């Protein structure tokens, strides 16, 4: 990450996909999705990554699935609903499809980058990661930062808090 994946052999391979499905009315969590993904090009996770996420090589060996399987399962979970993320996670998924030469796949629904919504709600997301939004609102982070599912739960809790404070729900 510090070298922006610009050195030979460095790629933004997806290692985990985590998401929550929200009720559009009250933003309550209707379902959760969490899969570990086996990297194809660099199958050994770096010590930095393992320390950051808490995901070990043993976890990947035991529970990891191939990216195409993970992508298909995530697409099925998302259904036709809009995907909201803190950043452009869709670019990383698309990059992995290209990286692995996958040309036939079900396209995901439209993504919305929530950073502009938070900014419109007077929460400046610049320089923040998704796991930091909730604590910036005075909410405690539940789980482990940089775990995709825990980060998604935190984003949902942050959205719910902003709406509770009077913000208009993000447009779906």
With beta carbons less than 8 A apart as the criterion, state whether 108 and 85 touch.
Answer: no
Does 8 score more than 80 pLDDT?
no
Does 2 score more than 60 pLDDT?
no
With beta carbons less than 8 A apart as the criterion, state whether 66 and 37 touch.
Answer: yes
Q: Name the residue with higher pLDDT: 3 or 63.
A: 63
pTM summary value: 0.91
Q: What are the residue ranges spanned by the domains of the chain? A: 16-164
Using CA atoms, how far apart are residues 116 and 171, in angstroms rounded to an integer? 12
* 100 backbone dihedrals φ, ψ, rounded to 5°: -95, 5
pLDDT given at position 107: 84
Asked if the 16-164 domain carries CATH number 3.30.420.10, the reply is yes
CA triple 156-157-158, angle to 5 deg: 90
Contacts within 8 Å (CB) and 24+ apart, 41-44: 41/9, 41/11, 41/13, 41/99, 42/9, 42/10, 42/11, 42/13
CA triple 148-140-28, angle to 5 deg: 65
What is the chain's Cα-based Rg? 16
* pLDDT, average across residues 10-36: 93
Tokens for 18, please give them: 């985590």
Q: Per residue in 41-50, pLDDT tens?
A: 999 999 999 9
The Cβ of residue 132 has, within 10 Å, a number of other Cβ atoms equal to: 17
Does 3 score more than 80 pLDDT?
no
* pLDDT, average across residues 159-167: 95
Q: Per residue in 89-134, pLDDT tens?
A: 999 999 999 999 999 877 888 899 999 999 999 999 999 999 999 9
Using CA atoms, how far apart are residues 77 and 165, in angstroms rounded to an integer? 30
pLDDT given at position 83: 94
Only one residue has tokens 């923040």, namely 128
pLDDT given at position 135: 96
């Amino acid at each position: 990450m510090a070298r922006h994946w610009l050195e030979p052999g460095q790629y933004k391979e997806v290692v985990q996909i985590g998401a929550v499905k929200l009720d559009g009315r009250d933003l309550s969590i209707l379902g959760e999705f969490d899969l570990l993904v086996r990297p194809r090009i660099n199958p050994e996770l770096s010590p930095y990554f393992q320390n950051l996420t808490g995901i070990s090589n043993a976890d990947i060996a035991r529970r990891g699935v191939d990216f195409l399987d993970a992508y298909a399962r995530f697409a099925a979970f998302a259904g036709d609903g809009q995907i909201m993320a803190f950043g452009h996670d869709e670019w990383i998924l698309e990059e992995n499809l290209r990286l692995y030469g996958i040309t036939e796949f079900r396209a995901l629904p439209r993504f919305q980058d929530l950073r502009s919504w938070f900014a419109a709600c007077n929460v400046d997301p610049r320089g923040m990661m998704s796991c930091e939004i909730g604590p910036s609102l005075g909410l405690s982070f539940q789980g482990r930062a940089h775990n995709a599912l825990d980060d998604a739960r935190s984003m949902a809790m942050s959205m719910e808090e902003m709406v509770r404070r009077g913000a208009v729900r993000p447009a779906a």
